[in-house]
């Protein structure tokens, strides 16, 4: 009798199990809706803005202005982590701070908003994990699946968890760049002379008004003494700078936050295209083998034989005045270049697993039943190689971030004024031995930390998927080397 009930429960569709025990799912769904609604305008603003920007890149594409207007509308709506709710920009009137959150000093007001962002992300991720636990406990038919062992191994992989923490920190900085920075990109980077600010003049003991561009000129970090605004300090106009200012006087933290967006966009975009090419070719060569595999091998060898960094530099110079180099300040060009350069490495990483899957009995059975090759590759082969693709793509992503930073350091990367970490290192290198060391050193540390984080996370995923590789000699070293390639 018990075996019959168990069999019936396993065969029962998920929707029926939800109907039979809806309370945990409803409570979890309500909590998720609350978390999403707290930042709903931010998500809609980002989504509609991205769609509008994408349509704007296509000549004659309709709807770009409509999406941009909708994005602007949602950006004005109040939400939990808005700058208007927890403002840090204000001025000192001689007795107290005006315009800041609860009248606090700008550094404390900014720190509260910064911590709120990461607390919100931690709560959201924790709630998603709790949803997975509820699914395992109440709605999954099987008591155990191989995914459970993968997750358990990853949870006990401290090097991988360190990488995951760094990746979450980096992605959160990029996603919430308009909020985590002490100022905005419009004021700090794009149009400083189009915005005004108030400050307290100690000489006249009055509140004065000045353009942000003029204030930046008086807040530049160019050496020592009065020509420097360092880490965790105020400038002469009462503005707080968590990691100092640039040579131009612009806030370095805001520059780094929006620069993280550029690096993440290029890295994920290029890996998405390269991963699609690699997966498609791996499935095709594993299914047809023979001449098809030989052609792809020769093509990938030819691409890998070319010096990658020199090829990117050459393409950057050749396409300097081309329209594609103007898309997102050159980011789209780098996405295409790195995708074309990196797909052979990803293809070789998943070719072996694809060939192994292609020899399995279920693939032969699907062929004998007359299923189309595309269906077999998509349903019976692709799921078994995506884990390997994720590992090697995350390793390669670190190398892309380093390469973009190196190109920007050489003056060939993302064009100004769009922020990019490598350009900050370039403009601050002559001050590295002075009190303005922060301009180059802090972006350099962040690049190293982010690349190490992606490598550590991919190392953890690899060991979780393939327990035979756990603790293998040189595993972590090989991961770091694989991600840092130029």
More confident residue, 88 or 332: 88
pLDDT, tens digit, 9 for 90 and up, residues 395-418:
899 889 998 888 888 888 788 888
Helix, strand, or coil here: 373?
A: helix
Domains and CATH numbers, the chain: 183-249 (no CATH), 251-457 (1.10.3720.10)
Question: CA-CA distance, 356 to 283, in Å (whole number)?
Answer: 11
In 10 A of CB 322, how many CB atoms? 11
- Choice among 82-86, 132-136, 298-302 with the minimum mean pLDDT: 82-86
Are 184 and 256 spatial neighbours (Cβ–Cβ below 8 Å)?
no
- Cα–Cα distances (Å) from 260 to 181, 269, 405, 437, 470, in that order, read 12, 14, 11, 20, 31
CA angle 96–102–108, rounded 5-degree value: 85
pLDDT digits (tens, 9 = 90+) for 172-219: 999 999 899 999 998 988 889 999 999 999 888 899 999 999 999 999
pLDDT at 413 (0 to 100): 79
State the average pLDDT over residues 158-181: 94
Lowest mean pLDDT among 171-185, 232-246, 327-341: 327-341
- Distance set, CA 131 to CA 14, 47, 57, 119, 223 (Å): 15, 24, 38, 18, 52
User: How many whole angstroms separate alpha carbon 189 and alpha carbon 347?
Assistant: 39
Confidence check: pLDDT of 3 > 50: no
Nearest in space to 362 (alpha carbons), one of 332, 391, 383: 383
The β-bridge partners of 99 are: none
Q: Tell me the average pLDDT across 143-163.
A: 90
Higher pLDDT, 467 or 397: 397
Residue 2 has pLDDT above 60, yes or no: no
| Upper half-sphere CA count for residue 196 (Cβ side, 13 Å) | 5
Does residue 484 carry a pLDDT above 50? no
**Residue 139, Cβ density class (10 Å: 0-12 exposed, 13-18 middle, ≥19 buried):** middle
User: What is the Cβ-side half-sphere exposure of residue 7, based on CA atoms within 13 angstroms?
Assistant: 4
- DSSP H helix total and E strand total for the chain: 21, 6
Q: Check whether 274 has a pLDDT greater than 70.
A: yes
The alpha carbon of 409 is separated from its chain's Cα centroid by a whole number of angstroms, namely: 21
15: pLDDT strictly greater than 70:
yes
CA separation (Å) from 75 to 48, 53, 192? 10, 15, 20
Grade residue 10 by pLDDT with cuts at 50, 70 and 90. low
The mean per-residue pLDDT over the stretch 146-160 comes to 90
The larger pLDDT score, comparing residue 413 to residue 266, is at 266
Tell me the β-bridge partners of 134.
none
Least confident residue range of 175-184, 356-365, 372-381, 460-469: 460-469
More confident of the two residues 106 and 318? 106
* pLDDT: which is higher, 234 or 13: 234
Tokens for 84? 């208007």
Place 242 in a pLDDT band, splitting at 50, 70 and 90: very high
Confidence of residue 297 (pLDDT cuts 50, 70, 90): very high
Average pLDDT, the chain: 87
- 143 vs 54, which has greater pLDDT? 143
Contact 162, 154 (CB under 8 A): no
Q: Which residues, other chains included, contact 131 with Cβ-Cβ below 8 Å and sequence gap of 6+?
A: 28, 32
| CA 422 – CA 402 distance, rounded (Å) | 8
The reported pLDDT for the residue numbered 480 is 38
> H helices of 143-186, where?
146-155, 158-175, 177-180, 185
C-alpha closest to that of 261 among 9, 53, 36, 465: 53
Q: How confident is the model at residue 166 (pLDDT cuts 50, 70, 90)?
A: very high
Cβ pair 160, 461 in contact under 8 A: yes
Higher pLDDT, 201 or 62: 201
Q: Is pLDDT above 90 for 438? A: yes
CA gap 434, 432 in Å, rounded: 6
Q: How confident is the model at residue 29 (pLDDT cuts 50, 70, 90)?
A: very high
- Percent over 90 (pLDDT), the chain: 56
Selected residue with higher pLDDT from 209 and 313: 209
Cα 444 to the center of its chain, rounded Å: 17
DSSP-assigned beta bridge partners for residue 231: 243
**Count of C-beta atoms within a 10 Å radius of residue 84:** 8
What does the pLDDT read at residue 79?
80
Q: What is the pLDDT of residue 184?
A: 92
Inform me whether the pLDDT recorded for 154 exceeds 80. Answer: yes
pLDDT for the residue numbered 469: 64
pLDDT tier at 51 (50, 70, 90 boundaries)?
confident
Contacts of 460 (CB under 8 A, 6+ apart): 154, 157, 159, 160, 161, 163, 164
Which tokens in the block code for residue 29?
A: 């769904």
């Amino acid at each position: 009798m018990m075996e019959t009930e168990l069999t019936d429960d396993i065969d029962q569709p998920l929707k029926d199990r939800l109907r039979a025990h809806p309370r945990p799912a409803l409570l979890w769904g309500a909590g998720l809706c609350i978390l999403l609604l707290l930042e709903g305008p931010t998500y809609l603003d980002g989504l509609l803005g991205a769609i509008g920007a994408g349509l704007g890149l296509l000549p004659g594409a309709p709807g770009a202005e409509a999406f941009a207007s909708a994005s602007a509308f949602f950006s004005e709506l109040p939400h939990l982590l808005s700058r208007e709710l927890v403002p840090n920009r204000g001025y000192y009137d001689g007795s107290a701070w005006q315009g800041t959150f609860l009248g606090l000093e700008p550094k404390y007001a900014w720190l509260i908003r910064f911590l709120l962002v990461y607390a919100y992300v931690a709560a959201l991720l924790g709630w998603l994990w709790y949803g997975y636990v509820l699914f395992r406990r109440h709605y999954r038919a099987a008591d155990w699946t191989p995914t459970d062992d993968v997750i358990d191994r990853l949870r006990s992989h401290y090097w991988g968890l360190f990488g995951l923490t760094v990746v979450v920190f980096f992605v959160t900085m990029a996603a919430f760049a308009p909020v985590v920075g002490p100022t905005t990109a419009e004021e700090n980077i794009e149009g400083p002379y189009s915005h005004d600010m108030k400050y307290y003049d100690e000489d006249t003991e009055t509140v004065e008004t000045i353009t942000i561009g003029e204030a930046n000129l008086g807040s530049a970090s160019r050496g020592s003494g009065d020509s420097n605004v360092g880490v965790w300090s105020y400038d002469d106009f009462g503005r707080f700078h968590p990691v100092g200012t640039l040579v131009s006087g612009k806030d370095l933290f805001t520059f780094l936050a929006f620069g993280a967006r550029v690096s993440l966009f290029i890295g994920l975009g290029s890996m998405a295209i390269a991963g699609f090419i690699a997966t498609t070719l791996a499935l095709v060569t594993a299914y047809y083998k023979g001449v098809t595999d030989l052609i792809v091998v020769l093509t990938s060898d030819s691409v890998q034989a070319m010096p990658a960094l020199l090829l990117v530099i050459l393409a950057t110079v050749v396409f300097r005045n081309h329209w594609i180099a103007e898309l997102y300040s050159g980011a789209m060009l780098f996405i295409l270049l790195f995708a074309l350069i990196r797909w052979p490495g990803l293809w070789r990483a998943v070719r072996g697993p694809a060939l192994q899957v292609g020899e399995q009995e279920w693939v032969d059975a699907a062929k004998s039943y007359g299923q189309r090759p595309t269906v077999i590759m998509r349903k019976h082969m692709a799921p078994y190689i995506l884990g390997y693709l994720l590992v090697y793509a995350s390793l390669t992503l670190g190398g892309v971030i380093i390469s973009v930073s190196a190109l920007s350091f050489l003056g060939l990367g993302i064009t100004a004024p769009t922020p990019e970490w490598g350009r900050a290192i370039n403009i601050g290198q002559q001050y590295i031995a002075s009190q303005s060391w922060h301009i180059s050193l802090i972006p350099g540390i962040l690049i190293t930390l982010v690349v190490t984080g992606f490598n550590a996370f991919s190392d953890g995923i690899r060991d979780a998927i393939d327990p035979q590789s756990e603790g293998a000699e040189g595993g972590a070293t090989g991961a770091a080397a694989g991600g840092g390639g130029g």
